[in-house]
Structures are given as C-alpha cells and as structure tokens.
C-alpha cells in the first residue's frame, strides 16, 4: 500500500482504454453520469447566483467590505463537516445521500426567500443560512466525487472530473451574470425566486439517479475506526498529503478574493453596479472552462502533477496583476487567467487524489480534502479586514505576493507533485 500513488487502473488498462486524445465526452455515455453532470450544472448555478446576490445585499445593508468578507467566510466555514460527509459517502448509498443533501439545500433557500419576501431578513439570519449552505456543500463534495469514481472506468477518471468542472465553469460564468442582472432588473427578492426554482430542478435530477454502488463498510467497525482508515492513508501516501497541503494554501490565498473582494472592486475601484459584478465573477469561470475542456480532452494522458504545479504557480502571478489593474477590460482578461490557473491545479489534483487511494476510502479521503477549505474563511476575513484598512488593491497585492512565495518554495522543496502522472 505505501507505494500506491499511481492510478490503480494504469497498469491493467490497455492503451486503447486510456483515451489520451478525443475522449472528452466519453464519460457522458453513462446515463447516471449525465444526471450527475446536470446536477452539478444546477448546483453551481444556484451557488454562484447566491454568491452575487447575497454579497450585494450585505454590501448595501451594511456598507462594510469587512461584513462581505464575513459572509463569504460563513459560506466556507461549514467545511469542518468534510470528514463527516466523506464518512457518510462511504457508509451510505451515495446516490440517495446526494438527493437528501439537495432536499435540505432547497429548504434553506426557501427559508431565505420567505424571510426576504416578508421583509424580515436580518444580518444574523443571512450569516446563519450562509453557514448552512456551506455545510451542505461540504457534504455534497465527497459524495459527488466518490460516486463519479464508482461510475466511470479508471482510464476515464481525469476526463470525468474535468467534465464536472466544465459544468461548474459554465454555470459559474452564467450564474453571476444572471444573478447580478436579476438584482438590477427585479431586486434581490426576484433573483432569489429563480434560485429556489433551480434548487428544485436540481433535486428532481438527483432523484432520477438509479446507480447504487456497494457500501464498503466492514461489519462491526466503529465510526472512529472508519475515520482513522482515511487518515492512515494520508500517513503513508506522501502525494495525497501534499495535495491536501496545496489545497489548504489555495483556499487561504487563492479563492477568497473572488468572494470577499470582487464586490468591493466592482463598487469602489471599477465603479460598476451589480450587473458589472456579475461580469467580474463570470470571467474566472470562462477561463476555468477553457482549462477544464483542455484537461478533459487529454483523457488519461499523464503529466497531471506537472500541469497542477503550473496552475499553482501561475495563479498568484495573475492575481497580483489584477490587483494593479484599474480598467474593466484588462481586469476581465486577468480574471480569465485566474480561472484557467484554478482549473489546471484543482482538476489535476482531484484526479490524482482519487487515483491514489483505494476505492472504499475515496469518500473519506475526499472528505479530508474538504477540510482544506476551512482555510478559506480565514482568508476571506483577512482580505476583508485588509480592504477596510488599506484598500482592496493593496490588500490583494500583499496576499498575492505571499501566495506566490509559498508556492515557489513548495515547488522547490517538494517535487512529489510535479513528478506525479
């Protein structure tokens, strides 16, 4: 087991199965994968619409960049439930669990809409419901990825993971634009009616999934014993440990500014309204979409570690350039680059992580991977506080320099990732 860092299917799979070229859409041949792909589309459309709508609402209510950062932090804080989500994914029927999670998600969105429509929504309720939304995402993440790994052949796993990202990127590009436009045209309440409707369609699609992967629970084994099994894998697998460290750093330095600072850049630096904020949030998604399609089209062609490292090194460079840009056109171009870097690094490392661990531990390991996102609330709060103290551009520039320094250091002293295939 200690040497198990390569794709377990790479030795036994013949070259014809690897599909290094032209295998972009092969995972979509599976009916249930198509349904999961559709739910990914709807799930992230609503999530990004909510990000724009709630951030703009909080900024209008409080006039505080810091509070925007706090709300963004709440949407990430629920990731402390990541290990629980992974444990449930390994103990329960993954397709049914995915539907249950979305049923609760629909409920919390409906409560938000009801309070908003009645004029009774207060800041503490926005914070509380944001915490619930983040917790549900933490449960959804390991369940979704471990179910996908059950459905597709090992040689198609990189393409399947990248196709999930394609669905996310398409809706991440459209969701902020639609959310911002709906706020401008119909108010926050009108935008949230559409959000709740999309949540309902997502639930219907999840209920149509019929695959029932076998639950790999050892009879008599305790919950603590199951969790220890996942963390024991991380003890002997240096590649898996490094991926979790990189994910922690990316969520501390890389992701927070999209949630915590873009609303501030839109209103105070670029001086554009909610529709303009939607464009800013859509640009990284378009860049990520291009990166995801490129990576998915490679199939299982290898060099995933090197691709991930390129993304991790490019990310802070483009982020720094964005902090120095004062024009809308250049800012949009640079945000495309941010998205492409995110896509390369996240897709490649997710595929490597799923390939590096035994199938019966995938849910728990992906749940542990979710813990890395717990650094995002801290990053969001620090950026919000920095923006309030010295302005958004300088706060982001300092953050980008720190991000780049850490990534260059890791690339130099830990070559494990860039050598992984």
Please choose, from the candidates 243, 256, 228, the residue with its C-alpha nearest in 3D space to the C-alpha of residue 392.
256
Q: How many residues does the chain have?
A: 421
Q: Show Cβ contacts of residue 263 under 8 Å, excluding neighbours closer than 6 positions.
A: 55, 56, 59, 65, 68, 277
What pLDDT shows up at residue 277?
79
Task: Print pLDDT tens along the chain (421 aa).
Answer: 333 333 333 333 333 334 443 455 666 677 888 888 889 889 988 888 888 888 888 888 888 878 887 887 787 777 777 777 777 887 788 888 999 999 999 999 999 999 988 888 888 888 888 889 888 988 888 888 888 877 777 667 767 777 887 887 788 778 777 887 888 888 888 889 999 999 999 999 999 988 766 555 544 455 555 556 556 666 677 787 888 888 889 989 988 887 778 888 888 888 887 778 778 888 888 888 888 777 766 655 567 778 888 899 999 999 999 999 878 889 999 999 999 998 888 888 887 887 777 776 777 777 777 777 778 778 888 888 888 888 889 999 999 999 999 999 988 888 777 666 6
How many Å separate Cα 318 from the centre of its chain? Answer: 19
* Residues 6 or more apart whose Cβ sits within 8 Å of residue 214: none
Tens digits of residue pLDDT in 243-254: 888 888 998 998
Is 0.75 topped by the overall pTM? no
Which residue has tokens 């964005």? Answer: 322
Domain residue ranges of the chain, discontinuous segments joined by +: 32-211+238-419
Residue 41: both structure tokens together: 């589309």
Rounded to whole angstroms, how far apart are CA atoms 177 and 204?
A: 25
Interatomic CA distance for residues 65 and 381, integer angstroms: 10
CA 371, CA 420: separation in Å to the nearest integer? Answer: 23
Rounded to 5 degrees, φ, ψ at 45 are: -60, -50
DSSP state of 215: P
Q: Give CA–CA dist 137/81, Å, rounded.
A: 9
* Rounded-to-10 torsion of CA 299, 303, 309, 315: -30
Give yes or no for a contact between 91 and 219, defined as CB atoms under 8 angstroms apart.
Answer: no
| Contact predicate 140/85, CB 8 Å | yes
Q: Please give the pLDDT value at position 202.
A: 93
Q: Which of these, 360, 366, 349, lies nearest to 86 by C-alpha position? A: 366
User: Does the structural domain 32-211+238-419 have CATH classification 1.20.1250.20?
Assistant: yes
- Give the pLDDT score at 76: 72
Phi, psi of 241 (to 5 degrees): -60, -45
3-state helix, strand, coil in the chain (%, to 5): 85, 0, 15
> Is the separation of the CB atoms in 4 and 237 below 8 Å?
yes
Find out whether 48 and 255 touch, Cβ atoms under 8 Å.
no
Tokens encoding 26: 């092969």
For residue 342, CA distances in Å to 124, 165, 268, 363 come to: 32, 11, 26, 23
List pLDDT tens digits, range 371-416.
Answer: 777 787 788 888 888 888 888 899 999 999 999 999 999 888 887 7
CB distance 349 to 246 below 8 Å: yes
Q: Could you tell me if 318 and 338 are in contact, meaning their C-beta atoms sit under 8 angstroms apart?
A: yes
Q: Quick one: which of 130, 160, 159, 155 has its CA closest to 144?
A: 160
């Amino acid at each position: 087991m200690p040497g198990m860092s390569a794709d377990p299917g790479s030795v036994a799979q013949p070259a014809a199965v690897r599909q290094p070229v032209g295998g972009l859409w092969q995972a979509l041949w599976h009916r249930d994968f198509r349904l999961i792909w559709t739910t990914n589309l709807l799930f992230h459309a609503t999530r990004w619409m909510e990000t724009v709508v709630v951030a703009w609402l909080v900024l209008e209510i409080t006039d505080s960049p810091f509070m925007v950062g706090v709300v963004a932090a709440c949407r990430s804080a629920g990731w402390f439930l990541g290990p629980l989500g992974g444990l449930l994914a390994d103990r329960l029927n993954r397709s049914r669990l995915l539907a249950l999670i979305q049923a609760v998600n629909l409920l919390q969105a409906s409560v938000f809409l009801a309070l908003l429509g009645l004029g009774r929504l207060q800041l503490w309720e926005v914070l509380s419901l944001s915490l619930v939304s983040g917790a549900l995402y933490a449960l959804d993440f390991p369940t979704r990825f471990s179910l996908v790994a059950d459905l597709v052949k090992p040689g198609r796993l990189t393409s399947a993971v990248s196709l999930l990202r394609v669905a996310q990127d398409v809706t991440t590009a459209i969701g902020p634009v639609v959310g911002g436009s709906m706020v401008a045209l119909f108010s926050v309440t009108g935008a949230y009616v559409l959000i709740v409707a999309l949540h309902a369609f997502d639930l219907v699609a999840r209920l149509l999934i019929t695959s029932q992967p076998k639950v790999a629970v050892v009879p008599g084994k305790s919950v603590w014993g199951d969790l220890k099994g996942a963390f024991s894998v991380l003890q002997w697998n240096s590649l898996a440990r490094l991926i979790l460290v990189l994910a922690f750093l990316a969520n501390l330095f890389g992701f927070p500014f999209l949630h915590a600072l873009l609303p501030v850049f839109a209103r105070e630096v670029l001086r554009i309204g909610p529709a303009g904020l939607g464009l800013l949030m859509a640009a990284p998604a378009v860049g990520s979409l291009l990166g995801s399609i490129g990576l998915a089209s490679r199939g299982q062609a290898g060099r995933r570690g090197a691709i991930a490292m390129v993304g991790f090194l490019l990310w802070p460079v483009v982020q720094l350039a964005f902090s120095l840009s004062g024009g809308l056109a250049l800012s949009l171009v640079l945000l495309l680059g941010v998205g492409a870097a995110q896509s390369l690094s996240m897709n490649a490392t997710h595929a490597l992580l799923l390939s590096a661990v035994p199938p019966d531990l995938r849910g728990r390991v992906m749940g542990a991977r979710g813990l890395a996102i717990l650094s995002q609330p801290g990053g969001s709060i620090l950026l919000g506080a920095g923006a309030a103290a010295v302005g958004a551009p300088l706060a982001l520039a300092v953050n980008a320099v720190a991000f780049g320094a850490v990534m260059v250091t890791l690339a130099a002293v830990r070559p494990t990732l860039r050598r992984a295939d």
